[in-house]
Amino acid sequence: MVTDDSKVLLHRFNWQRLWTISPGKCITSICWSPDGKIVALGTEDGFVLLHDVENGKMLRSIKSHDVAIICLNWAEDEPLSRTDKEDLLSYEDRTTRFFPPAPVMPRIGGLNSGDTGLADENEEAIQAFSSASCQRFNILCTGDKDGCICFSIFGIFPIGKININKVPIHVQSSGKRTSYRLQDVSISKVSLSRNLHQLVLLCSGKLINTDNLSLSNDLSVGVHCLHLDTSIFSNRKNELHQVSQQASSIQDLVEVVRASISMMSKQWSNAMNLFHEKFSALPSLLTAHGMESSSEDEFMSLLFGTHTSPALHQFLVSSLGEAGLKRIAKTIESAGRELRIVVSEHLQSKLFHSDLQN
């Protein structure tokens, strides 16, 4: 369930609550993945949020639309018959040859799952979610209030977008073909068939006769049902499946790099904040002594062994002191050590191995 204040609650059938989350965004639509392991949320600002059903952790945050997502539909390809399997052209999945398993995601203390594209404490769920090769082919359809529909394989790899306002509609009646188009469309419902051949959608908007604009009137404003041919998804699902696998592997590596850089930035920022806090008194001391030099100039003079100014001497002896200097040195050394660990354990070894394989 989604409440008025956009909290998401998951209950069992006996009404036992499993978890409650507050994504921090206005939720406008919701649906299940075909296997029931993921809940997809559409937001008012056009994001699709994918959450693990087991614990509510966010697996992905994807910007799919520019406006509110009104409806979601997650369709899975139907199982093939024995005859269809024999006629189907098989392909070799070469993903593992080019992309090794993604490095371990670093723990990012102090960050909520909503702050990052991937959750920082759910590595097993992320790996299972990303291993597209073990999933049946499925497509997530999302429709927004401006008439756009987006399609994503496994909910994460975008493969197409349709603007219903620009789709020509041809109607054959009494041997005469008339062309229409819809204006000011807002998508209400979308449904992709099990064989992926057809998309049925309900939308509101004004039907315009493009052959004779004078025939269009207010009566043409209402709810319309459209059937679109999406057989390209079924005809090209092998190629789409393979590309999505490779794209997922690339995205996992990019997410590890992003999370690692975020952690490194946080560690170094904490050290620099302490440094600036302790040295903030020096500029005022320089001004009080009538000196026009900067803090950097004073320390450069100290490093090169030249004369130490009275202001710097007072700062080192009275304001900073030996204990403060040791604390700063310990903090910076600790930050440097953490940075080395992130680079060596989460980036360098795995990514260098990936370069060698490529």
Q: What average pLDDT does the segment 144-149 reach? A: 96
pLDDT cut 90: percent of the chain above it? 33
* Top-ranked range on mean pLDDT: pick from 12-26, 80-94, 122-136, 233-247: 12-26
Residues 163 and 205: beta-carbon distance below 8 Å? no
Q: Which of 42-56, 106-120, 133-147, 203-217 bottoms out in mean pLDDT, i.e. has the lowest?
A: 106-120
CA 275 from centre of chain: 34
Name residue, tokens 């909290």.
7
Q: How many whole angstroms separate alpha carbon 103 and alpha carbon 270?
A: 25
d(CA 289, CA 267): 35
Strands (E), 22-135: 27-32, 38-43, 47-52, 58-63, 69-76
Higher-confidence residue: 231 or 241?
A: 231
The span from the first CA to the last CA of the chain, in angstroms, equals 46
pLDDT confidence of residue 325: 77
Entry pTM = 0.67
The reported pLDDT for the residue numbered 310 is 86
Q: Which residues of 100-129 are buried (b: 16+ CB within 10 A; e: fewer)?
A: eebbebbebeeeebeebebbbebeebbeeb
Taking each helix axis from N to C end, the angle separating 237-279 and 349-357, rounded to the nearest 10 degrees, works out to: 150
- The Cα–Cα gap between 287 and 167 comes to 69
CA 66 to CA 201: how far, in whole Å?
20
Beta strand pairing call for 198-209 and 176-192: antiparallel
CA dihedral of residues 248, 249, 254, 257 (deg, nearest 10): 140
Rounded Cα gap, residues 74 and 141, in angstroms:
6
Higher pLDDT, 296 or 48: 48
Return the top range by mean pLDDT from 138-142, 290-294, 353-357.
Answer: 138-142
Percent of the chain with pLDDT over 70: 78
Residue 45 · residue 150 · CB < 8 Å: no
CA 193 centroid distance within chain: 27
Q: Is 171 helix (H, G, I), strand (E, B) or coil?
A: strand
Q: What is the pLDDT of residues 236-294, one digit of tens each?
A: 888 888 888 777 777 777 777 787 788 888 878 888 887 777 778 888 888 888 888 88
The pLDDT confidence band at residue 315, using thresholds 50, 70 and 90, is confident
d(CA 100, CA 92): 17
- Of 133-142, 216-225, 326-335, where does mean pLDDT reach its minimum? 216-225
Q: What is the pLDDT of residue 113?
A: 37
CA distance 263 to 108: 6
d(CA 40, CA 49): 6
Q: What is the mean pLDDT of the chain?
A: 80
Distance between CA atoms of residues 221 and 167, nearest Å: 17
